[in-house]
Amino acid sequence: MTELAENLPATTPLDGNGRSTLFTAARTANSFAPTPVGDDELREIWELAKWAPTAANTQPLRVLFVRTEEGRDRLVRHMADGNKEKTASAPAVAVLAVDTRFHEHIPALLPFRPELADVFATNDEMRSSTGSFNSALQAGYFILAVRALGLAAGPMAGFDSDGVDAEFFADGRWKSILVVNIGHPGENPWFDRLPRLDPADSTRWA
Ligand SMILES: Cc1cc2nc3c(=O)[nH]c(=O)nc-3n(C[C@H](O)[C@H](O)[C@H](O)COP(=O)(O)O)c2cc1C
């Protein structure tokens, strides 16, 4: 398990290897080798991702780790046809979900302002928009945490979220937002790299 790195400055730059593992050389995997991914590695992904920031420390993302054959079969049924094979070949899969009642944890997570829980409890629009925005942020952190462990991620929005929710989250509290295949790249794992926007088109300066 990763310990808090209390003896290291929190702003040490990553070297080129670290940057390529997370960003420049990292790719979205479409096929996976049979090499297993252990439960300890899956726990470690969350041990990293959980530290990245959310608004008012709300942390609305929840994770269902699917790594048994039976669990994967139940999930594959709800994937879009073009995604079924990818999920079937992944040694582990994470179903990322938003906790629609994330605000109930606020007294513990934001102890200096516990009354914010009541604000969210009585404002459906604010609760929903905060939950969606921050769970999506955390989904991005999750993908980077997968990469930080030297594993490849295959995020997919192409699935029947109502079907997944009925299958795995029948009490209605968690709502699925993204499925992430996790493993070591298999045969022909990547599509050709797609272009990224030029900074001239995607950034402005003031
Ligand atoms: C939110 C999200 C949803 C995605 N949904 C799908 C999907 O349903 N099926 C799929 O094959 N790829 C899906 N992708 C993969 C993207 O197409 C891929 O990450 C992107 O083209 C970048 O590829 P690269 O990392 O290899 O450069 C998704 C990615 C993200 C982040």
pLDDT tens-digit series, residues 16-43:
999 999 999 999 999 999 999 999 999 9
pLDDT tens per residue, range 79-96: 999 999 999 999 999 999
Question: 21 lies in a domain?
Answer: no
Q: What's the average model confidence in pLDDT over 144-162?
A: 98
Distances (CA, A) of 103 to 6, 99, 124, 180: 29, 9, 11, 25
Question: 125 lies in a domain?
Answer: yes
Nearest CA to ligand 1 atom 13: 156
Question: From the CB of 23, is ligand 1 less than 6 Å away?
Answer: no
Tokens matching residue 182: 């996790």
* 64: CB partners within 8 A, 6+ apart: 94, 95, 97, 168, 169, 174
pLDDT at 4: 61
Question: 203 lies in a domain?
Answer: no
Mutate to test the pocket of ligand 1, among 28, 81, 96, 188 (most ligand atoms within 8 A of CB): 28
Pairing relationship of beta strands 174-183 and 92-99 according to DSSP bridges: antiparallel
Whether pLDDT at 156 is above 60? yes
Q: What's the average model confidence in pLDDT over 145-163?
A: 98
pLDDT tens per residue, range 93-113: 999 999 999 999 999 999 999
Q: How many domains does the chain have?
A: 1
| CATH code of 176's domain | 3.40.109.10
pLDDT at 176: 99
Handedness of CA 119, 123, 126, 132 (dihedral sign): positive
Q: Which domain holds residue 43?
A: 29-187
Question: 158 lies in a domain?
Answer: yes
Q: Residue 191 — very low, low, confident or very high, per pLDDT cuts 50/70/90?
A: very high
Question: From the CB of 10, is ligand 1 less than 6 Å away?
Answer: no
Question: 196 lies in a domain?
Answer: no
pLDDT tens per residue, range 48-58: 999 999 999 99
Q: Residues of the chain with pLDDT > 90: what percent?
A: 95
Question: From the CB of 195, is ligand 1 less than 6 Å away?
Answer: no
pLDDT at 3: 56
pTM for the whole thing?
Answer: 0.96
Ligand 1 centroid to Cα of residue 32, in Å, is 15
Question: From the CB of 140, is ligand 1 less than 6 Å away?
Answer: no
pLDDT at 10: 84
pLDDT at 77: 98
Q: Residue 2 — very low, low, confident or very high, per pLDDT cuts 50/70/90?
A: low
Mutate to test the pocket of ligand 1, among 93, 147, 156 (most ligand atoms within 8 A of CB): 156
